C-alpha cells in the first residue's frame, strides 16, 4: 500500500466510524474511533497511557442514548485525561500503557463473548490492533497508520452492520422486519410464492398468560419458520409473519407450509408468564399465493396471500388456504 494511502485511510475510516457512531448514538464506539483518530493526530502525548485509558473508559461508557452533555464530555475527555496523567498515570512508568491496553481488550473480549453482537466483535478486534499500535507508540509511522486504519475500518464495519440490523431486523424474533420484507418484494421475480402466517387466538394468549408468554410464542413460531427450506421469513407485524419462496422453492411451498402447520399444531410451546411456566398448544392459519410465471406484481401477490389468510381464519383457523 502506498504511504500516502496508508496515511489517509485511517483518517477516512476513523472519521466515518465516528460520524456514524454519533448519528446512531453509540457513545462507546464513538469514543473508540475518537481514540484512534487522536492516536494518529497526537503521536507524542504527555503519557503513552492516554490511548489505552481512553479505550478502557470507552468500554465502561453505558450504551444509552447520547445527549448533548455526554457528547461534549466525550470530546473533552481526552484532554481531561491528558491533564490527569501528568500527575497520576505517568508516575507508573512505561508499563502503564501496556497494562491498561491489555485490560481494555480483555474487557472488550468478555463483553463480546457475553453479548455476541457484531459491534462488540469489531470493538474487540479494533482494541487488539490499537493495543499493539497505539499503546507502545514506538513502532514505525507506516505500521502505526496501517494498524490504526485496520482498527478504524473494523469499527466502521461494526457500526454499519449493527445499524443494518437495527434497521432491517425485528428485535424480538431476529427475523427480517417490514422494511426488509419490502426490499425482498422489490427484487422478487416469478416463479415465486408468498405466504402470510398468523398465530391463532394470539390476543387470548396475551390476556390469559401475559405479554411475556406471548413474546415467547412469537419467538418459538419464528424459530420454526426460519427452518423451512427455501423460504425467507419476515415478521410482518404483531402476530403475523410473511414467507417468501423464490424460483427453486416455489413449487414446494404448499406441502412445506402444510407440514409446518401440522407440526406446530402437534407440538407444545414452553412459556413462562402469569401463573408460572406451562406448555401451550398453539395453531397457525396460513394464506398462500403463487405466481408461476409472467409479469409479477409482488405487492399484489402479498395482498392475495393476505386475503387467503383471512379466508382461512373465517373458515375456522388452523388451516391453509391458497389464493
Q: What is the pLDDT of residues 3-14, one digit of tens each?
A: 565 556 656 666
Q: Is the pLDDT of residue 68 over 60?
A: no
Q: Are 14 and 42 spatial neighbours (Cβ–Cβ below 8 Å)?
A: no
Q: Using N-to-C axis directions, what is the helix angle for 27-41 and 3-23, rounded to 10°? A: 150
Q: How many CB atoms lie within 10 A of CB 69?
A: 8
For residue range 90-139, list pLDDT tens digits in order: 444 445 555 555 565 566 666 666 666 666 667 666 666 665 555 554 45
Q: Are 254 and 202 spatial neighbours (Cβ–Cβ below 8 Å)?
A: no
Q: Is the pLDDT of residue 246 over 70?
A: yes
pLDDT band at 270 (very low <50, low <70, confident <90, very high): confident
Query: Distance of CA 147 to CAs 108, 140, 157, 193, 207, Å?
Result: 18, 11, 15, 48, 56
Write down the pLDDT at residue 229.
Answer: 87
Mean pLDDT for 265-278 is 84
Write down the pLDDT at residue 293.
Answer: 79
Q: Is the pLDDT of residue 250 over 90?
A: no
DSSP letter (8 states) at residue 234: E
Write down the pLDDT at residue 1.
Answer: 44
Q: Is the pLDDT of residue 202 over 80?
A: yes
Write down the pLDDT at residue 234.
Answer: 96
**Three cell numbers, residue 44:** 507524542
pLDDT band at 144 (very low <50, low <70, confident <90, very high): low
Write down the pLDDT at residue 8.
Answer: 64
Domains, the chain: 3-168 (no CATH), 178-322 (3.30.70.270)
Q: Is the pLDDT of residue 314 over 90?
A: yes
Q: Is the pLDDT of residue 298 over 50?
A: yes
Q: Is the pLDDT of residue 277 over 60?
A: yes
Question: For the ranges 119-128, 154-163, 218-227, 309-318, which has the lowest average pLDDT?
Answer: 119-128
Q: Mean of the per-residue pLDDT values for the chain?
A: 76
Q: Is the pLDDT of residue 317 over 80?
A: yes
Mean pLDDT for 215-230 is 93
Name which residue leads in pLDDT, 141 or 90: 141
Write down the pLDDT at residue 296.
Answer: 86
* DSSP notation for 246-300: -TTTGGGHHHHHHHHHHHHHHS-EEEEETTEEEEE---EEEEEEEE-SSS--HHH
Percent of the chain with pLDDT over 70: 53
Write down the pLDDT at residue 167.
Answer: 81
Percent of the chain with pLDDT over 90: 32
Q: Are 280 and 213 spatial neighbours (Cβ–Cβ below 8 Å)?
A: yes
Q: Which residues are catalytic?
A: 239
| Cα–Cα distance, 148 to 7 (Å, whole number) | 10
Q: Does this model's pTM top 0.75?
A: no
Name which residue leads in pLDDT, 55 or 184: 184
Write down the pLDDT at residue 120.
Answer: 67
Question: For the ranges 72-76, 234-238, 267-271, which has the lowest average pLDDT?
Answer: 72-76
Q: Is the pLDDT of residue 44 over 50?
A: yes
pLDDT band at 165 (very low <50, low <70, confident <90, very high): confident
| Cα–Cα distance, 91 to 17 (Å, whole number) | 33
Give the torsion through C-alpha atoms of 288, 292, 295, 300, to 10 deg. Answer: -10
pLDDT band at 73 (very low <50, low <70, confident <90, very high): low
Amino acid at each position: 500500500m502506498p504511504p500516502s494511502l496508508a496515511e489517509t485511510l485511517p483518517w477516512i475510516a476513523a472519521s466515518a466510524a465516528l460520524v456514524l457512531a454519533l448519528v446512531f448514538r453509540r457513545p462507546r464506539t464513538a469514543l473508540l474511533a475518537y481514540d484512534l483518530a487522536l492516536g494518529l493526530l497526537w503521536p507524542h502525548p504527555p503519557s503513552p497511557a492516554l490511548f489505552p485509558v481512553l479505550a478502557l473508559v470507552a468500554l465502561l461508557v453505558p450504551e444509552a442514548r447520547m445527549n448533548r452533555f455526554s457528547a461534549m464530555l466525550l470530546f473533552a475527555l481526552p484532554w481531561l485525561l491528558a491533564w490527569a496523567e501528568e500527575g497520576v498515570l505517568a508516575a507508573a512508568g512505561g508499563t502503564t500503557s501496556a497494562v491498561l491496553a491489555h485490560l481494555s481488550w480483555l474487557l472488550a473480549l468478555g463483553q463480546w463473548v457475553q453479548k455476541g453482537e457484531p459491534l462488540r466483535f469489531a470493538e474487540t478486534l479494533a482494541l487488539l490492533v490499537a493495543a499493539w499500535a497505539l499503546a507502545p507508540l514506538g513502532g514505525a509511522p507506516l505500521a502505526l497508520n496501517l494498524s490504526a486504519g485496520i482498527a478504524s475500518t473494523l469499527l466502521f464495519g461494526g457500526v454499519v452492520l449493527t445499524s443494518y440490523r437495527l434497521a432491517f431486523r425485528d428485535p424480538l424474533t431476529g427475523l427480517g422486519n417490514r422494511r426488509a420484507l419490502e426490499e425482498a418484494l422489490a427484487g422478487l421475480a416469478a416463479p415465486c410464492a408468498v405466504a402470510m402466517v398468523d398465530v391463532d387466538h394470539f390476543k387470548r394468549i396475551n390476556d390469559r398468560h401475559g405479554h411475556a408468554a406471548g413474546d415467547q410464542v412469537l419467538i418459538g413460531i419464528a424459530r420454526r419458520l426460519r427452518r423451512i427450506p427455501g423460504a425467507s421469513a419476515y415478521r410482518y407485524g404483531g402476530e403475523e409473519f410473511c414467507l417468501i419462496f423464490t424460483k427453486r422453492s416455489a413449487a414446494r411451498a404448499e406441502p412445506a407450509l402444510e407440514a409446518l402447520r401440522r407440526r406446530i399444531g402437534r407440538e407444545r410451546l414452553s412459556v413462562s408468564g402469569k401463573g408460572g411456566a406451562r406448555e401451550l398448544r398453539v395453531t397457525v392459519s396460513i394464506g398462500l399465493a403463487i405466481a408461476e410465471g409472467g409479469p409479477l406484481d409482488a405487492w399484489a401477490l402479498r395482498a392475495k396471500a393476505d386475503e387467503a389468510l383471512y379466508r382461512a381464519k373465517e373458515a375456522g383457523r388452523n388451516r391453509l388456504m391458497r389464493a
